[in-house]
A and B are shown apart, each in its own frame.
Chain A
Amino acid sequence: MRITIESLIAAAALAFFTAGCNRTSDKPAEVVVYSSVDEVFARPVAERFSEDTDIAVRLVPDTEETKSTGLLNRLIAERERPQADVFWSGDPVRAAILKSKGVSEPYRSPNAAALPVLYSDAEGHWTGFSARARVLIYNKELVAEGEEPRSVLDLNDPRFQGKACIANPLFGTTSMHAAALFQVIGEEKARDFFQRFIENGGSIVSSNGEVRRRVAAGDFAVGITDTDDFNVAFQEGKPVAAVYPDQDGMGTLIVPNAAVLVRGGPNPDGGKQFIDYLLRPETEKALAESEAAQMPVRPGVAVPDYVQPLDELQPMQVHYGELADLLERLSAGFLREWVEASSR
Chain B
Amino acid sequence: MISAAVLERPGRWRVLGLAAGLAAALLPGAPLVWEVVTGAGSASVFGGDFALAVGRSLIVGGGAAILALVVGFPTGLLAGLYRFRGRRVLLAGVALPLLIPSFLWAIGLSMLRIELGLPRESLLSGATGCIFSFAAIGVPLVIFAVLLAVGSTAASNLDATRLAGGELAVLRYAGRACFPAALSACLLGGILSLADPGPGQILGFSGAATQVLVSFSALYDFELAARQCIVVAGVVLAAASPLVWFTAGKLAAGLLPRNATPMRPARWPAAEWAAPLLLGLVFALSVLAPVAGLVQPVLGRFWLDRTWETVARTGANTVVYALLAGLVATGLATWLAVCAARVASLRIAFVAGLIVVFVLPPALNALGTALAASGAPAWLDPVLRSRLTVGAVLGLRLTPLAGIVLLRAMCTAPASWALAAAVHGVPLGTYCRRVLAPFLAGPIAISVALVALLATADVTTVLLLQPPGQSSFPVALFTVMANAPESMVGSLALAYVMIACIAIAAVLLVNILVKPLALARGSVSAT
- Which A positions have Cβ atoms within 8 angstroms of B? 1-5, 12, 15-16, 18-24, 32-34, 38-41, 57-74, 76-84, 97, 101, 168, 170-171, 175, 203-210, 213-214, 217-219, 228-229, 232, 235-236, 291-292, 328, 331-332, 336-337, 339-340, 343-344
- Given A3-B517, A19-B391, A336-B48; A60-B471 close (CB under 8 Å): yes
Task: List the B side residues contacting A81 at CB < 8 Å.
Answer: 373-376, 378
Task: List the A side residues contacting B110 at CB < 8 Å.
Answer: 214
Task: List the A side residues contacting B375 at CB < 8 Å.
Answer: 80-81
- Given A204-B204, A217-B114, A236-B486; A68-B363 close (CB under 8 Å): yes
Task: List the B side residues contacting A34 at CB < 8 Å.
Answer: 468
Known: A58-B468, A64-B481, A69-B213. 13 other contacts (CB 8 A): A15-B324, A20-B386, A39-B479, A41-B483, A63-B479, A65-B478, A67-B197, A67-B213, A68-B459, A69-B217, A77-B367, A217-B111, A332-B43
Q: Does B383 contact A (CB under 8 A)?
A: yes
Interface of A is mostly: mixed
Q: Does B171 contact A (CB under 8 A)?
A: no
Residue among B323, B366, B374, B466 making CB contact with A79, cutoff 8 Å: B374
A343 to B56, CA, bound (A): 11
Taking a contact as CB atoms under 8 Å apart, the answer to whether B483 and A209 are in contact is yes
Residue among A5, A32, A70, A235 making CB contact with B463, cutoff 8 Å: A70
A5 to B479, CA, bound (A): 39
**CB-defined interface of B179-203 with A at 8 Å, one 1/0 digit per residue?**
0000000000000000001100110
Taking a contact as CB atoms under 8 Å apart, the answer to whether A209 and B517 are in contact is no
Taking a contact as CB atoms under 8 Å apart, the answer to whether A5 and B433 are in contact is yes
Task: List the A side residues contacting B363 at CB < 8 Å.
Answer: 68-69, 73
Task: List the A side residues contacting B478 at CB < 8 Å.
Answer: 63, 65-66
- Given A19-B387, A22-B470; A70-B49 close (CB under 8 Å): no
- Of the candidates A15, A41, A337, the one having the most CB atoms from chain B within 10 angstroms of its own CB is A15
Chain B nearest Cβ from A295, distance in angstroms: 16
- Given A78-B370, A83-B385; A168-B201 close (CB under 8 Å): yes
Taking a contact as CB atoms under 8 Å apart, the answer to whether A69 and B367 are in contact is yes
Interface of B is mostly: helix
Task: List the A side residues contacting B481 at CB < 8 Å.
Answer: 63-65, 209
Q: Does B464 contact A (CB under 8 A)?
A: yes
Task: List the A side residues contacting B103 at CB < 8 Å.
Answer: 65-66
A288 to B370, CA, bound (A): 35
20 of the cross-chain contacts (CB-CB < 8 Å) are A1-B513, A19-B320, A20-B388, A22-B470, A24-B469, A32-B468, A63-B475, A64-B481, A64-B482, A68-B460, A69-B217, A74-B367, A81-B373, A203-B120, A207-B482, A214-B110, A331-B214, A332-B43, A340-B53, A343-B204
Taking a contact as CB atoms under 8 Å apart, the answer to whether B463 and A63 are in contact is yes
A105 to B45, CA, bound (A): 33
A131 to B488, CA, bound (A): 24
Residue among A16, A61, A235 making CB contact with B388, cutoff 8 Å: A16
A83 to B463, CA, bound (A): 13
Task: List the A side residues contacting B517 at CB < 8 Å.
Answer: 2-4
Taking a contact as CB atoms under 8 Å apart, the answer to whether A71 and B463 are in contact is yes
Q: Does B476 contact A (CB under 8 A)?
A: yes
Taking a contact as CB atoms under 8 Å apart, the answer to whether A23 and B470 are in contact is yes
A39 to B382, CA, bound (A): 27
Chain A nearest Cβ from B491, distance in angstroms: 13
Residue among A16, A33, A236, A332 making CB contact with B219, cutoff 8 Å: A332
Taking a contact as CB atoms under 8 Å apart, the answer to whether B483 and A74 are in contact is no
Task: List the A side residues contacting B376 at CB < 8 Å.
Answer: 81
Residue of A nearest to B444 (CB): A8
A74 to B482, CA, bound (A): 21
Taking a contact as CB atoms under 8 Å apart, the answer to whether B374 and A77 are in contact is yes
- Given A78-B373, A171-B218; A73-B114 close (CB under 8 Å): no
Taking a contact as CB atoms under 8 Å apart, the answer to whether B469 and A331 are in contact is no
A23 to B470, CA, bound (A): 9
Taking a contact as CB atoms under 8 Å apart, the answer to whether B217 and A39 are in contact is no
User: Which residues between 468 and 514 of chain B lie within 8 Å of chain A, taking CB atoms?
Assistant: 468-471, 475-476, 478-486, 488, 510, 513-514
Residue of B nearest to A23 (CB): B470
Chain A nearest Cβ from B101, distance in angstroms: 7
- Given A60-B469, A340-B48; A40-B480 close (CB under 8 Å): yes
Task: List the B side residues contacting A66 at CB < 8 Å.
Answer: 101, 103, 198, 459-460, 478
A340 to B53, CA, bound (A): 9
Q: 9 closest Cβ contacts across the A-B interface?
A: A58-B469, A343-B206, A69-B363, A58-B468, A77-B370, A340-B49, A170-B218, A209-B482, A19-B387
Taking a contact as CB atoms under 8 Å apart, the answer to whether A331 and B216 are in contact is no
Taking a contact as CB atoms under 8 Å apart, the answer to whether B202 and A206 are in contact is yes
Chain B nearest Cβ from A219, distance in angstroms: 5
Residue of A nearest to B197 (CB): A67
Chain B nearest Cβ from A95, distance in angstroms: 14
Taking a contact as CB atoms under 8 Å apart, the answer to whether B216 and A69 are in contact is yes
A218 to B116, CA, bound (A): 12
Taking a contact as CB atoms under 8 Å apart, the answer to whether B201 and A206 are in contact is yes
- Given A63-B478, A69-B217; A20-B101 close (CB under 8 Å): no
Q: Does B205 contact A (CB under 8 A)?
A: yes
Chain B nearest Cβ from A272, distance in angstroms: 17
Chain B nearest Cβ from A100, distance in angstroms: 9
A32 to B114, CA, bound (A): 41
Taking a contact as CB atoms under 8 Å apart, the answer to whether A38 and B114 are in contact is no
- Of the candidates B210, B216, B468, B476, the one having the most CB atoms from chain A within 10 angstroms of its own CB is B468
Taking a contact as CB atoms under 8 Å apart, the answer to whether A69 and B324 are in contact is no
Residue of A nearest to B478 (CB): A63
Chain B nearest Cβ from A49, distance in angstroms: 14
A337 to B387, CA, bound (A): 39
**CB-defined interface of B211-250 with A at 8 Å, one 1/0 digit per residue?**
0011011111010000000000000000000000000000
A34 to B467, CA, bound (A): 11
Residue of A nearest to B377 (CB): A81
Task: List the B side residues contacting A63 at CB < 8 Å.
Answer: 459, 463, 475, 478-479, 481-482
Task: List the A side residues contacting B90 at CB < 8 Å.
Answer: none
Task: List the A side residues contacting B466 at CB < 8 Å.
Answer: 60
Q: Does B422 contact A (CB under 8 A)?
A: no
Q: Does B371 contact A (CB under 8 A)?
A: yes
Residue among B101, B388, B475, B483 making CB contact with A38, cutoff 8 Å: B483
Task: List the B side residues contacting A74 at CB < 8 Å.
Answer: 367, 370, 463-464
Taking a contact as CB atoms under 8 Å apart, the answer to whether A67 and B198 are in contact is yes
Chain A nearest Cβ from B414, distance in angstroms: 20
Taking a contact as CB atoms under 8 Å apart, the answer to whether B469 and A59 are in contact is yes
Residue among A38, A84, A210 making CB contact with B480, cutoff 8 Å: A38
- Given A5-B437, A68-B460, A332-B43; A83-B479 close (CB under 8 Å): no
A1 to B513, CA, bound (A): 8
Taking a contact as CB atoms under 8 Å apart, the answer to whether B324 and A73 are in contact is no
Chain A nearest Cβ from B238, distance in angstroms: 24
- Of the candidates A3, A23, A77, A219, the one having the most CB atoms from chain B within 10 angstroms of its own CB is A77
Taking a contact as CB atoms under 8 Å apart, the answer to whether A61 and B479 are in contact is yes
A271 to B502, CA, bound (A): 40
Residue of A nearest to B371 (CB): A77
Q: Does B327 contact A (CB under 8 A)?
A: yes
Taking a contact as CB atoms under 8 Å apart, the answer to whether A15 and B327 are in contact is yes
A57 to B469, CA, bound (A): 8
Taking a contact as CB atoms under 8 Å apart, the answer to whether A21 and B482 are in contact is no
Residue of A nearest to B126 (CB): A343
Chain B nearest Cβ from A72, distance in angstroms: 7
